[in-house]
Structure 1
Amino acid sequence: MLRVLPRVCTRIPRRPSPLQYSRRPFHSSSSSRRSYHPGYFRFLDDIPEDTVFWSIIGLNGAVFAMAWWAKKKLEVERNPALYRWFQKNFTSSWNNISAGRIWTPVTSAFAHADFSHILFNGFTFYFMAPLTLSILGSRQFLFLYLGGICSIHLSGGASAALGSVAYTNIWRGRDVPSVGASGAIYSVLSFLAFQAPRMTLLLYGIIPVPIYLAVGGLFSYDLYRTVQDNGGKTNTSAHVGGALAGAAYFFLRRFRMF
């Protein structure tokens, strides 16, 4: 997994350690982080950054608990009602989208397949999201992370899910339901790699690696597995889509297209 070293690119404001977030809230920086079109969802910038951070973690935990409960009811009580409802509303697939459940590309980003899945995604989010929040502010971070809130801001989790659905259906000819925050987290990692390429990460908490090298390596590996169709149970196409969305988001901001 990836962890930020204390010393990062000097252009990025120093933030408190993630271990201090429960005691020290985020503070909004100058208005320079605001969107170039301030009329869009301006109220989101009034949400404290620590509220956004912990709310996303809490939502992931709540949805995971609901999925666990649905599986237990299916296994123990032989009652599939809750499990079927969860599959319809918290998994991303062409079947769900074509049935009119257009919210599933977003809601699926809060669902996870098992404990190791949510643990790895949660670990990465815990250490990478605070810095991105400090750069973007609440509103633009939510646009980046979730995507699909507004058509011109399609990025992050939603675009990764939609890209994965399109890829598996059009190129692979199958409809495989997908869950997980990996696409959204990859968009955050990709954005940071462009925003602060000299920032150093600790790979698996041990090996120091420049973020551009780490993210570039992950992207290349997932792209190879996607093309070769050997991702196994991992939805590598969502990883690729998330990384591309994060890069696109960086350049859209760089050229002041929003």
Structure 2
Amino acid sequence: MFIRTERSIKEFIQFYPIVASLVMIHIALWLLIDLLQLQFGSFLYEWGIGSNYLVDQGQYWRLVTPLFFHSDIMHMLFNSFALVLFGPALEQMLGKVKFLVAYLGAGIIGNIGTYAFGASEIWNVHLGASGAIYGLFGIYVFMIAFRKHLIDPGSKQVVMVLFIIGLIMTFVRANINIHAHIFGFIGGFAIAPLILTNVRPFSPWRNQQRYRDDDSIQFDPKRWKKRRVSKKNIIWIVVGILVLLGILGRFNIL
């Protein structure tokens, strides 16, 4: 479920338009706010960042908009990487509309949890897609517990290893919005039984169409055999990437 077999970015966008669009929004906002430091970017940041104090003042859109902003490049890359890793399988299984509803719904529940239990001082702000990402974890954990036919053993192992690592890091690392992580996970878990009705397991064969430049559709029956990777190794690959990102962020290399 988590091994990417797309031949190009164009093909990834065609197969998973919602995941691709969310990642592009993350990158675009980072470019406007952090890299280019445009005035319009600063306006968007001030308008959309999460703040319990400002929600108290009636700015309820801030329960949604923080999902698209990130504090720095490492924060943006980490969440975008997690979305690219865990989002595509669910987007195929649920369809574009239900996936977007589940993603935003879990993220909003995470921000509501932050509002209900977090500090409301004006200088306490929060941002990031982590609540929504943990919502995806909630959906996968629900499948592992109650819809075992929807997830294969290798993918189950990947989910549980990374979920446990993420849970530990939630309470160990500084400047983590614990409420968003916990309530985002709860939101995804609660939404799961509503959206998993009549859902089929993920299958790369549903993405078997290959598009030529002239938009004609072709398929190579040996394509997936060429790209097969051991599912036992994918855990260590993913963990290694996460550790590398954490080290780079800690020493401000990126």
What TM-score bracket applies, with the shorter chain setting the length? 0.5 to 0.7
Q: 1:249 to 1:232 in 2, by over 3 A?
A: same
Look up the match of 2:90. Answer: 132
Q: Following the alignment from structure 2 to structure 1, what is the Cα–Cα distance between the partners of residues 17 and 126?
A: 27
Are residues 1:50 and 2:8 paired? no
Q: 1:236 to 1:157 in 2, by over 3 A?
A: same
Structure 2 portions without partners, runs of 5+: 145-150, 199-254
1:115 Cα deviation from its structure 2 partner: 0.6
1:180 Cα deviation from its structure 2 partner: 0.3
Amino acid at match of 1:22: K
Using the size of structure 1 for normalisation, the TM-score is: 0.63
Number of equivalences: 192
1:189 Cα deviation from its structure 2 partner: 1.8
Look up the match of 2:222. Answer: none
1:199 Cα deviation from its structure 2 partner: 4.4
* 1:165-189 CA distance string (max 9 Å, x none): 221138xx78621000011011012
Look up the match of 1:66. Answer: 32
Q: 1:114 to 1:24 in 2, by over 3 A?
A: closer
Query: Equivalent residues in 2 for 1:3-14 (5 A)?
Result: 5-6=2-3
1:216 Cα deviation from its structure 2 partner: 4.6
CA-atom RMSD in angstroms = 3.1
Tell me which protein shows more helix as a share of its residues.
2
Q: Percent identity?
A: 21
Look up the match of 1:181. Answer: 129
Look up the match of 1:161. Answer: 111
Query: Equivalent residues in 2 for 1:68-217 (5 A)?
Result: 68=34, 72=37, 83=42, 85-147=43-105, 156-169=106-119, 176-196=124-144, 198-200=152-154, 209-216=157-164
* 1:28-69 CA distance string (max 9 Å, x none): xxxxxxxxxxxxxxxxxxxxx632222111111112222216
Amino acid at match of 1:194: F
Amino acid at match of 1:17: T
Using the size of structure 2 for normalisation, the TM-score is: 0.64
Aligned residues of 1:21 and 1:50 also touching (Cα < 8 A): no
Are residues 1:244 and 2:186 paired? yes
Amino acid at match of 1:200: G
1:214 Cα deviation from its structure 2 partner: 3.5
Q: 1:182 to 1:24 in 2, by over 3 A?
A: closer
Q: Following the alignment from structure 2 to structure 1, what is the Cα–Cα distance between the partners of residues 12 and 119?
A: 46
